Amino acid sequence: MDNGCYPVSLIRFLAGAEPTVVRAQVRLFAPQVDRGMSADLSFPDGRTAHLKCDMLSPALFRSFVVVRGEAGKLAVFNPYHPHWFNLLTVRGLRGRRFEHVRGENAYALQLRAFAAAIRGEAMLSTGPGDAIGNMRLIDEIYEKAGMMRRGMRANHNPAR
């Protein structure tokens, strides 16, 4: 729910479609408290995705996305915080290219966009439907990993 929402959102954005969860595996910190999660996703058109997030990783910092296609591969180190060190690598039929993509603090950008939307100067790039889609997929990942949906209690009866 913490760092896993970022890859969930990015995968849905890049695919432009809603996946289903094929498999999910959790590493628990305490009962019903995940410290790490991995999931394999499938899209109706045959594409697949894999996500992994961990709050107690043995690595100090590992944040990346890899997109593979028929003609090449895109790898981005640190896609969620462009104001910190980042590297974009594109490999294709004509070789490979490396780029540093500079950017502002993601949270400052979000706050600026929110303020502009409140003032009526711009529309937000995502709306309630996107948030619901993210939460639906997160719930499905938790359930596939054998956990309860967040906010549910063990004795909760949804039929009531």
For residue 154, the model assigns a pLDDT of: 61
Walk me through the domains of the chain, giving residue ranges and CATH numbers: 5-144 (3.30.360.10)
Q: How far is CA 74 from the centre of its chain?
A: 16
- Measured CA to CA, the distance from residue 94 to residue 153 in angstroms comes to 54
Structure confidence by residue, pLDDT tens digits, 61-116? 778 899 999 999 999 988 888 778 888 899 999 999 999 887 788 889 999 999 99
Q: What is the value of pTM for the model shown?
A: 0.84
The kind and range of the H/E element at 128 are: helix 128-144
For residue 146, the model assigns a pLDDT of: 92
For residue 55, the model assigns a pLDDT of: 81
Q: Is the pLDDT of residue 56 over 90?
A: no
Q: What is the mean pLDDT of residues 42-60?
A: 88
Q: Is the pLDDT of residue 3 over 60?
A: yes
pLDDT band at 32 (very low <50, low <70, confident <90, very high): confident
Q: Are 79 and 63 in contact (CB under 8 A)?
A: yes
- Measured CA to CA, the distance from residue 55 to residue 68 in angstroms comes to 26
Environment class of 19 (CB within 10 Å of its CB; exposed 0-12, middle 13-18, buried 19+): buried
